[in-house]
Structure 1
Amino acid sequence: MGNLLIFMAIAFDHHLQAPMYFFLINLSVLDLGSISVIVPKSMTNSLMNIRSISYSGCVARVLFLLFLVGVDFSILTVMVYNRYVTICQPLHYETIMNSRACVQMVAGAWISGILYSGLHTGNTFALTFCGGNMVDQFFCEISQLLKLTCSVSYLSETGVLAFSVCLVLDCFVFIILLYVQIFKSVLKIPCEQGQHKALSTCLPHLTVVSLFVFTGAFAYLKPTSSSPSTLGLVVAIIYSVLPPIMNAIIYSMRNKEIKAALRRLTGYK
């Protein structure tokens, strides 16, 4: 609901035309999609007391989840760069973050997500599965699917997973470096209220990105175990379900412009 409200507020309010809101409307669509891929099916299975999913359903879930989560993280990285330019290079903002550059960055994120998810999913389900049909997770997680394969070529998919985690960690280091520059600039602001305003969204955003990166890396790099783990379940919930919820809270409840747009949209005074 939070992501849907953000989408409606930005789409129907002509006051929200800044690049940040262009990135934010993409993020809300991605978060809405990623949480919809996992949660409805899991809730249905829980309420109806069933624990089954078709092979094609599992393939579709892996494909869409990889695509949406991959593009989501790319957009989060772009949003940090946008914030860096806003705070650290305000005089060059209009030149650097022009409409063409914003569209190219978002288009690059979506196209790379399509290519990544297609290749990753195809590589995973090209393997031979003969180790049973029980997945120790509430959704089709690749690390759990690899336990079921008896194909020697599974090592190639393991290598792809390791490369993916390293790529995400590289992006995370880039984000940290940008935030270091942002915090340096914020501390130079003479007004304490200005410092608080700048940090009020930076710190929650950095927290969500850190949770996403470290729990995802733990889920895919930890040693495989034959027995189901409660810790594995908690970690999967954190990196797959928590970020879409937190992003909606950070960018709606803590954003005056979004709240004002929602009031105009609903006619509430």
Structure 2
Amino acid sequence: MEQIKNQTMIPEFVFLGFSAFPEPHLVFFLLFLAIYLTALLGNGFILTTGWLDSGLHTPMYYFIRHLSFLDICYISVTLPHMLKNLVAEIKTISIQDCLAQLYFLVAFLGVECLLLAVMAYDRYLAICHPLTYAVFMNRKLCTGLVAASWTCGLLNAVMHTAMTAQLPFCASHSLDHLFCDVPQLLKLSCQDTFLNQITLFVVTFLLGVSPFLCIVASYTHIVIAILRIRTTQGRHKAFSTCSSHLIVVSLFYSTCMFNYNRARASHSVLIDILASVLYNVVTPMLNPIIYSLRNKEMKEALKRILNPKNAILLLAPAY
């Protein structure tokens, strides 16, 4: 018992995932830095524009602002430490920092899954029930849905982090990855992790698969409603209101599911790392680009903000 106790006192983990990238690492440092700055500026632009322009004080943009804030938090959990390790000789992280990174990563991942489902429900009400949309999707409901998403995500992260922290990490102190995640840490434990794996499976279904099924159901009804619209212009207008969200959902879930399925079915560390970078780093950068370039209202809002004559519109309270 004393031997196991001593083995759990691993002061830090070493990331081996960077060995999958060829030397020198300066090119990847500059690439990841550009991605990080783009994500911060893009999501910051959506936050600022959505807050300042009264024309965007609607439920849909209320959810988009929360998604942008979430993406800033999400990418900031892992990328700054990855940038540091790209220029460091020894690529390590203390066990305390690793558990902290794990907590926030799991929390923001869960919140994003639920928030994307909430946004799909919002589009379902807007397109399938336009006459009662304003009654149902009021300020109180919007706030409650966002609060519930954050609460579930944070509580889920507490459970996973607490269970992982109880494991004895005596198998190894080397992580074949770029950041701390539950599956990688479970591999390092010399204790039976059956309960952790069952919990991970159940929670993945509740916070990952279930929201995805809700999104599929929402868009099934949306497609049916759009096909019933007689005019081509009407169908195009209805579809344009949810196309950006559909692209974001497809990008997030496809990369995320591929990553976790790949982690269980393959031993290719390089493919696992590239898949992780896609959903953890690239997706938060692309989300604001998708919402900005494909959104006519967002472009018009930017023009109004840059026009001094419309400064009075900035005084209106946010949704």
Fold shared by both chains (TM-score > 0.5): yes
Counterpart contact for 2:177–2:273, Cα < 8 Å:
yes
Alignment of 1:122-161 (within 5 A): 122-152=162-192, 154-161=193-200
- How big is the shift at 1:220? 3.5
Contiguous gaps of at least 5 residues in structure 2: 1-40, 310-319
Query: How far apart, CA to CA, are the structure 1 residues paired with 2:298 and 2:203?
Result: 34
Alignment root-mean-square deviation, CA: 2.2
The share of aligned pairs that are identical, in percent, is: 39
- Per the alignment, residue 116 of structure 2 pairs with 76
- Per the alignment, residue 166 of structure 1 pairs with 205
Query: How far apart, CA to CA, are the structure 2 residues paired with 1:207 and 1:16?
Result: 20
Letter in 2 for 1:158: Q
Counterpart contact for 1:201–1:254, Cα < 8 Å:
no
- Per the alignment, residue 251 of structure 1 pairs with 291
- How big is the shift at 1:169? 1.2
Query: How far apart, CA to CA, are the structure 2 residues paired with 1:89 and 1:146?
Result: 46
- Per the alignment, residue 14 of structure 1 pairs with 54
What are the Cα deviations for residues 144-173 of structure 1, in whole angstroms up to 9, with x where unaligned?
Answer: 111100112x11111111112222112211
SS at match of 2:55: coil
More off after superposition, 192-201 vs 161-170: 192-201
Letter in 2 for 1:41: H
- How big is the shift at 1:109? 0.8
- Per the alignment, residue 101 of structure 2 pairs with 61
Q: 1:242 aligns with which of 282, 285, 293?
A: 282
- How big is the shift at 1:245? 2.1
- Per the alignment, residue 73 of structure 2 pairs with 33
Letter in 2 for 1:258: M
SS at match of 1:241: helix
SS at match of 1:91: coil
* Bigger RCO (CA 8 Å, 6+ sep): 2
Count of residue pairs brought into register by the alignment: 268
Summarize the Cα distance change of 1:34–1:223 in structure 2 as closer, same or farther, 3 Å threshold.
closer
Alignment of 1:100-115 (within 5 A): 100-115=140-155
- Per the alignment, residue 192 of structure 1 pairs with 232
Summarize the Cα distance change of 1:221–1:259 in structure 2 as closer, same or farther, 3 Å threshold.
same
SS at match of 1:15: helix
Under a length normalisation based on structure 2, what TM-score does the superposition of the two structures give? 0.77
Summarize the Cα distance change of 1:228–1:147 in structure 2 as closer, same or farther, 3 Å threshold.
farther
Query: How far apart, CA to CA, are the structure 2 residues paired with 1:116 and 1:56?
Result: 19
Which one has the largest radius of gyration? Answer: 2
Counterpart contact for 1:165–1:217, Cα < 8 Å:
no
Under a length normalisation based on structure 1, what TM-score does the superposition of the two structures give? 0.91
Contiguous gaps of at least 5 residues in structure 1: none
